Structure 1
Amino acid sequence: MRTVDLIHKKRNGGELSNEEIGWLIEGYVQGTIPDYQISAWAMAIYFQGMSARETADLTLAMAASGDQVDLSPIPGIKVDKHSTGGVGDTTTLIVAPLVAAAGVPVAKMSGRGLGHTGGTVDKLEAIPGFQVERSTDQFLQQVRDIGIAVVGQSGNLTPADKKLYGLRDVTATVDSIPLIASSIMSKKIASGADRIVLDVKTGKGAFMKTLEDSVALAQAMVAIGTEVGRETVAVITNMDEPLGPSIGNALEVQEALDTLRGEGPAELTQLCLELAAHMVLLGGLAATYERALQQVTELLHSGAALAKFKQFIVAQEGDGAVADEPGRLPQAAYRVAVPAPQDGYIAAIDAESLGVTAMMLGAGRATKEDQIDLAVGLKLTKRVGDRVRAGEPLAELYTNRIDAEETDRIKERTVSAFGFSEQFVEPLKLMYAVVTKDGVQYL
């Protein structure tokens, strides 16, 4: 085979075979195919697309390019959950113990955040003593013992995806649905999940800004899952405003604990129950979605999910008392109210802008080397559709440094993320659609 022939074939709209795709990925990882040729191939995909079969073959080739986690020693159907990224998105910390309490084993590898707030691993490290590093044997044994483990990504998972993503980032080929879908799904498949639930965000604070593009991405990922025998369900959810009011690591852990006590924000609670119900259904522990939803709702309100979270914290050497005393989490030294500049209704909240504001406070990383301040962030007091009066708080900043000039700048930036209207504004829709192998169901 010659790389130039495969670039030419894809450029002209042809379909590459499984062998051709595997040969390209193997050569790229081994360094026998140069960046400039893979760049040309990625641009050909950007314009010509890929069939469902090609996309599945690319996904499996990338998954096979490095280590693959074998979860077969864990009894039962292992169901993983992945979010395409959002602001104030604390769902994993709630959904994982909730699903584990229902009897579905949760063996999850999560990453750190880059930009906005931290990732799931960073949030867990806000719990004093919590250890995210575990050997494979410890990881598997913990899931067998208590039904849940969440650890940092380790080893050499999907090196082809890491190389290809870095190349796409500098060649204007990031926003190609086959390449996005195969990137996400290759990591899930390499992580060993039997079945997968996806939370695909849409809106200003999401990677996919339109519902049409979000549905197309969800369909591509569900098709990959179907093609490779990993049943996949995707829920399309709103990211035109932050999911929960808290943006920051310890703040989001506290919000997760509130939710596990049945006292969390309504939207966050509703979405977590939805995702958990799909996971329980895919895990074979409920006959219908309605029964799965009833089951996880009962587990949330009975305290069983909170008890599972506490058990999970202790198993990974964290301070289990945090479950009952959230004040043991890292606390910011200062709180600064951000007042509304006018009367009216909240017409819009720029989730992405507020995520960057949290990063400026120290809650996220601008570069991989940056250190996160786990205590800082911000907490919103208003959502789209809420009535507000001038001077009433829109949000509260949590910070460990007080510099009057910098604080004023961050307050101004926070206010600028809000849009106001004199007329009544309807609250935003939380969920738009559920995508399965049988099609799209709009909600």
Structure 2
Amino acid sequence: MSDAVSIIAAKRDGHELTPMQIDWVIDAFTKGIVADEQMSALAMAILWRGMTRAELARWTAAMIASGNRMDFTSLPRPTVDKHSTGGVGDKITLPLAPLVAACGAAVPQLSGRGLGHTGGTLDKLESIPGWRADLSSEEIHAILADPAVGAVVCAAGADLAPADKRLYALRDVTGTVESIPLIASSIMSKKIAEGTGALVLDVKVGAGAFMKNIDDAQALAEAMVGLGTDAGVRTVAVLTAMDCPLGLTAGNALEVEESLDVLAGGGPADIVELTLTLARTMLAAAGIEGVDPADKLADGTAMDQWRAMIAAQGGDPAAPLPVAKESLLITAESDGVVTALDAMGVGVAAWRLGAGRERQGEAVQAAAGVRLHAKPGDRVTAGAPLATLYTDTPEKFEYAAEAIAGAWTIGDTAVDASPIVLGRIGG
């Protein structure tokens, strides 16, 4: 017989949890026998002490076993999904899912909400009038089977790794988001239960990521690739830079707007580069050859697929996006060249403006966020705009401005641009 207190104490003291302990605590947490505060304590102990490979495999299996598994083998197209570990301005899923669908794959993109300073894909898409994240299994299958759509971005159903859904929300408000075992098991329990045939992981590394250095990012990537491969899912991880925000926006509606620019054949160069890199990796993992996703952006096919995807989930792709009631301009204090931009400062500012949540279940502001006017390599003069902050609640400006103050490093000479793709594991 197991109990929550002894399991928490065992992990706190650095012991390896037994398979029976892991199975029991996940099952009991799912049923409400283990209270939120007890699972929060266990999550903190795991953050501190870590997990062995055997513990991680069993923990992930128990998360999967807490619910049902989806089956897409009847679809006429190969299935492939992408998951990002989260970053600032990371709206890549938005143009990527319809783009890969336009190239012939089915993309069952089960996404999440914001965690800490990183934005949530579902929060972003919910800024589109009418769009809904919660779909039944039948709706998901029907959308993926429709060649005019072929992609779905939605919340994991209540019956898909329900233990993870509860733990995911707790991690956001208990300071345990950064735990490598909890990140790996959270992502892979959902992705394996989801039933996709192939999976590409975008593992962020840098100041604006949960993994601050390449060693931690590689450890996370290897853990997830191992879990996926062992479960029969062709899994590839791409390590990508997150010292500087992606694109020029961080927020919800702001990032949708920028994603539309990419789908229209424009958009910031870093967003386009990473979108195409991940699209090509996904197509290769799904076994699709002879299609260049760049062509689908150029000829408008990806945009058509986007409109169909949004409409299939109740959204109005032609509706105007929300606009914030208030704005505040941040300006440069000196002349020079921007040599660095701290992604964490930008992400925390967007979060404090209302784009993210401080408590589990809290609503976010669709129009809140940050629009950047200067990034590394840009020359600025004193008084020139660096960013505009947006919110419906102007009392948040002071707190947000504190977070973003000093985010820009301004020097005398430009520095060479850093690569976006830092490495690759699996495949």
- Paired residues for 1:204-353 under 5 Å: 204-286=207-289, 295-322=292-319, 328-353=320-345
CA distance in 1, matches of 2:186, 2:71: 20
Bigger-Rg structure (1/2) = 1
Match of 2:124 in 1: 123
**CA distance 1:144–1:50, shift in 2 (3 Å):** same
Secondary structure, aligned partner of 2:128: coil
1:250-269 superposed Cα distances (whole Å, 9 cap, x missing partner): 11111001001111100011
Question: 1:187 aligned to 190, 214, 228, which one?
Answer: 190
Kindly state the Cα deviation for residue 67 of structure 1 after the two structures are TM-superposed.
Answer: 3.1
Larger displacement relative to structure 2 (57-66 or 299-308): 57-66
Instruction: Give, in whole Å, the separation in 1 of the partners of 2:39 and 2:113.
Output: 31
Q: Is the 1:346–1:418 contact (alpha carbons within 8 Å) kept by the matching residues of 2? A: yes
Whether 2:421 is the aligned partner of 1:420: answer no
SS in 1 for 2:199: strand
Cα contact 1:88–1:246 (8 A) shared by 2: yes
CA contact (8 A) 1:114 1:368 kept: no
Asked if 1 retains the 8 angstrom alpha-carbon contact of 2:349 and 2:401, the reply is no
Bigger Cα displacement from structure 2, 57-66 vs 26-35: 26-35
Report what 2:370 is aligned to: 378
Over 3 Å counting, the alpha-carbon distance change for 1:173 and 1:362 in structure 2 is: closer
Moved more, 312-321 or 164-173: 164-173
**CA gap 1:39/1:102 in 2 versus in 1, 3 angstroms:** same
Q: 1:401 to 1:298 in 2, by over 3 A?
A: same
Cα contact 2:365–2:391 (8 A) shared by 1: no
CA distance in 1, matches of 2:210, 2:363: 24
Unaligned segments of structure 2, at least 5 residues: none
Cα distance, 1:307–1:44 mapped onto 2, change above 3 Å: closer
- Once residues 268 and 170 of structure 2 are traced to their aligned partners in structure 1, the CA distance between those partners, rounded to angstroms, is 39
Measure how far apart 1:11 and its partner are: 7.6
CA contact (8 A) 2:46 2:179 kept: no
Contact 2:12 2:45 survives alignment (8 Å) = no
Matched, 1:112 2:113: yes
The code of the aligned residue for 2:52 comes to: M
CA distance in 2, matches of 1:14, 1:211: 26
1:80 touches 1:196 (CA, 8 Å); kept in 2?
yes
Task: Name 1:359's counterpart in structure 2.
Answer: 351
Whether the 8 Å CA contact 2:207–2:243 is kept in 1: the answer is: yes
Partner of 1:160: 163
135, 150, 153: which one aligns with 1:150: 153
Whether the 8 Å CA contact 1:234–1:435 is kept in 2: the answer is: yes
Q: Which residue of 1 aligns with 2:141?
A: 140
Is 1:74 aligned to 2:71, yes or no? no
Is the CA contact (8 Å cut-off) linking 2:47 and 2:178 kept in structure 1?
no
Aligned to 1:92: 93
TM-score, length-normalised on structure 1?
0.84
Counterpart code for 2:312:
A
C-alpha distance in structure 1 between counterparts of 2:268 and 2:330, whole Å? 20
The one-letter code of the counterpart of 1:68 is: R
Native 8 Å contact 1:11 1:44 kept in 2: no
**Counterpart code for 1:50:** T
Residues 33 and 383 of structure 1: CA distance in aligned 2, closer, same or farther (over 3 Å): closer
In structure 2, do the counterparts of structure 1 residues 184 and 303 end up closer, same or farther at CA, with 3 Å as the change threshold? same
Write out per-residue CA displacement over residues 385-435 of structure 1, whole angstroms, 9 at most, x where no aligned residue.
3222111111122344556xx646644643422222233323232111011
Greater displacement, 159-168 / 247-256: 159-168
Q: Is the 8 A contact 2:99 2:302 kept in 1?
A: yes
Q: Structure 1 residues 20, 249: closer, same or farther in 2, change over 3 A?
A: closer
Count matched residues: 422
CA deviation after TM superposition for structure 1 residue 29, in Å: 4.1
Mapped to 1, the partners of 2:171 and 2:331 lie a distance apart of: 42
Q: 2:360 is matched with which residue?
A: 368
The answer (yes or no) to whether the contact 2:131–2:310 under 8 Å persists in 1 is yes
CA pair 8-152 structure 1, distance change in 2 beyond 3 A: closer
Per the alignment, in what secondary structure is the counterpart of residue 271 of structure 1? helix
Match in the other structure for 1:441: none
- The worse-fitting range, judged by mean Cα deviation, of 414-423 and 157-166 is 157-166
CA–CA separation in structure 1 for the residues paired with 2:162 and 2:382? 52
RMSD: 3.3
Residue 6 of structure 1: how far off its partner (Å): 12
The SS at the match of 2:338 is strand
Cα distance in structure 2, aligned partners of 1:198 and 1:142: 23
Q: Secondary structure at the match of 1:87?
A: coil
With 236-245 and 347-356 compared, the bigger mean Cα shift is at: 347-356
1:214 Cα deviation from its structure 2 partner: 0.3
- Range moving further from structure 2, 425-434 or 106-115: 106-115
- Assess, with a 3 A threshold, how the Cα gap between structure 1 residues 2 and 337 changes in structure 2: closer, same or farther: closer
Partner of 2:52: 50
The answer to whether the 8 Å contact 1:260/1:306 transfers is: yes
CA distance in 2 between partners of 1:41 and 1:300 (Å): 42
Q: State the TM-score, normalizing by the size of structure 2.
A: 0.86
Change (3 A) 1:157 1:428: same
Distance in 1 of aligned mates of 2:105 and 2:254? 27
2:355 aligns to what SS in structure 1? coil
Alpha-carbon distance, 1:372 to partner: 2.4
Between the aligned residues of both structures, percent identity stands at 44
User: What secondary structure sits across from 1:299 in the alignment?
Assistant: helix
